[in-house]
């Protein structure tokens, strides 16, 4: 039997969530992370420079790794001629 995860979500009382994909509530941790991100973005000068640089480097590394992995794959030639 599944354990109730009601406490993990900010649920409205008296509402029954039947369609979990279209109109589902966010977990409380996701809401808190989003609020932290908005606060950080709205006050960029209060963010330590070293932390901002590390975040920018980490953000730039992810697409580079993805690109390197995709270069190892070959695509079949197009059957359409121009």
In a domain, 73, yes or no: no
4 or 31, which is more confident? Answer: 31
In a domain, 5, yes or no: no
Each residue of 16-54: pLDDT tens digit?
A: 877 666 777 889 999 999 998 888 888 877 767 777 778
Overall domain count for the chain = 1
Q: Which among 23, 38, 28, 25 has a CA at the least distance from the CA of 7?
A: 28
CB atoms within 10 A of CB 47: 13
In a domain, 18, yes or no: no
Domain of residue 60, residue span: 25-65
Give the DSSP per-residue string, 16-80: ----TTTS-PPBHHHHHHHHHHHHHHH-GGGS-HHHHHHHHHHHHHHHHHHHHHHHTS-PPPPS-
């Amino acid at each position: 039997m599944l354990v109730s995860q009601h406490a993990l979500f900010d649920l409205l009382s008296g509402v029954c969530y039947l369609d979990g994909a279209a109109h589902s509530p966010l977990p409380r941790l996701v809401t808190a992370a989003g609020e932290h991100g908005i606060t950080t973005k709205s006050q960029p000068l209060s963010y330590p420079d070293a932390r901002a640089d590390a975040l920018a480097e980490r953000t730039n590394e992810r697409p580079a790794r993805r690109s390197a992995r995709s270069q190892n794959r070959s695509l079949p030639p197009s059957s359409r001629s121009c």
